[in-house]
Amino acid sequence: MKLSIGISLLAVTVLLLAPPFPEAPAGFDNKTNGMVDDATHAADQAKFDETEALDDGLGPLYNTQSCRECHQNPTSGGPSQVTELRVGHSGPRGEFVNPEIPIARGTEIIKGRSLVNDRAICPNAAFPGTEIQERVPDSETIRTFRVSLNVLGDGFVEAVPDQTFVDLAKDQCKKNHKICGQVLYVPIVEAPGQTRVGRFGWKDQQASLLSFAADAYLNEMGITSRLQPDEVTNLCNTVAEPNDKTGPDGLSDIDHFARFIRATETPARDAQTAQTPKARLGAELFDKVGCDTCHVQTLTTAPAGTNLNGGTFTVPPALGGKQFHPYGDFLLHNVGTGDGIVQSMTEHYGKKMYQITWKNLSGNCLRKGPFPVPYLVSFLC
């Protein structure tokens, strides 16, 4: 008994004396966090900043011509004021139903996604009579704009173990205020059958930055890739699929985007403001009233060498065993600001998503039965 007390005291002492995990590098200086060298990072950033054109496979429906147009402030990878339109309507049982958007004078209906693209590549010289601009019909009464998010430092978020979020949700539930956050297991598109705790996007719809890059390349820019090989429409489409080809270095654009994001530093805190008495008081209050229950201040990444994303990504030393301060809420919480849009499975994970059996996919978040397509429920499943 004495011995075990002795051992646990020793363990506590060792824990207390153990140095804290090193801080993830922070800054807005376009430097790498050390995962790659600065030249590689600059080249990856050039891909993220690149303006795509018709012969790269842009569109047919799209929002903008480069990732940077929406992820830019104050440097590539930061957020922006650019918003995206999502719509849908309620079905007979009050369930969310994806919109049906007619294009080409009603000869084709875009289905299976809530996103409405702002731009289209035609009519153009090759297709002067094909008018495919998406317009929202009156029937789609649920409408929202979602603002562009920051991606700087997201490599650290990706490297947080699933268990951290599972434990956070449990702890929240146990405490007096019972703010039970929910974890959502979502598909890893590059590891068919494998799932992981979602943490990216307003609804935690992705867990892997490579999956997100392919999702964004298709849905924001209309560029198909090996992970998202199907166009939203084939009208006016002239470039062979997948549009995103493997380069001489063996990498496609989506690989460069994912590596760029993984190698970014975390957003730096405004040190000057943080020292002011008001900010210090605010920080105290933030913890005191429980904001930090959801907006957790410090997270720690898995050790270097840990396999993530269904074994397709190994945490490199630059990302492993680091602490960082995202203040983000990576669990699903209904805080009364729900936009009523339920995530479409095929939009985010590809049209073949239902031909795959996904291990541990958040089953109670899938609605089947009377509805034509199952949906990923937005906040509470």
Q: Which residues bind ligand HEC (CB under 6 A)?
A: 63-64, 67, 69-71, 82, 84, 146, 148-149, 151, 154, 179, 200-203, 209, 212-213, 216-217, 220-221, 257, 261, 286, 289-291, 293-295, 329, 333, 335, 337
**SS3 of 363, please?**
helix
38: amino acid identity, one letter:
D
HSE-up of residue 58 (Cα within 13 Å, Cβ side): 15
Query: 63 or 359: whose CB is closer to ligand HEC?
Result: 63
**Among the listed residues 101, 88, 83, the one whose alpha carbon sits nearest the alpha carbon of residue 143:** 88
Q: What's the chain's length in residues?
A: 381
Helices (H) and strands (E) in the chain, counts: 10, 16
Q: Are 165 and 296 in contact (CB under 8 A)?
A: no
CB of 1 to ligand HEC, least distance (A): 42
CB of 118 to ligand HEC, least distance (A): 7
Q: Are 133 and 120 in contact (CB under 8 A)?
A: yes
133: amino acid identity, one letter:
Q
Q: Are 241 and 127 in contact (CB under 8 A)?
A: no
Query: 203 or 353: whose CB is closer to ligand HEC?
Result: 203
CB of 293 to ligand HEC, least distance (A): 5
Query: 110 or 151: whose CB is closer to ligand HEC?
Result: 151
Structure tokens at 39: 């030249």
CB of 173 to ligand HEC, least distance (A): 12
CB of 41 to ligand HEC, least distance (A): 15
Query: 127 or 379: whose CB is closer to ligand HEC?
Result: 379
Query: 85 or 304: whose CB is closer to ligand HEC?
Result: 85
* Cα separation, 314 vs 62, whole angstroms: 32
330: amino acid identity, one letter:
F
Structure tokens at 165: 């979020």
CB of 15 to ligand HEC, least distance (A): 28
Which DSSP state fits 206?
Answer: B
Q: Which residue, chain included where needed, has tokens 């959502």?
A: 184
Query: 198 or 320: whose CB is closer to ligand HEC?
Result: 198
CB of 204 to ligand HEC, least distance (A): 8
CB of 245 to ligand HEC, least distance (A): 15
211: amino acid identity, one letter:
S
Q: Which residue, chain included where needed, has tokens 């079905």?
A: 91
Q: Are 89 and 140 in contact (CB under 8 A)?
A: yes
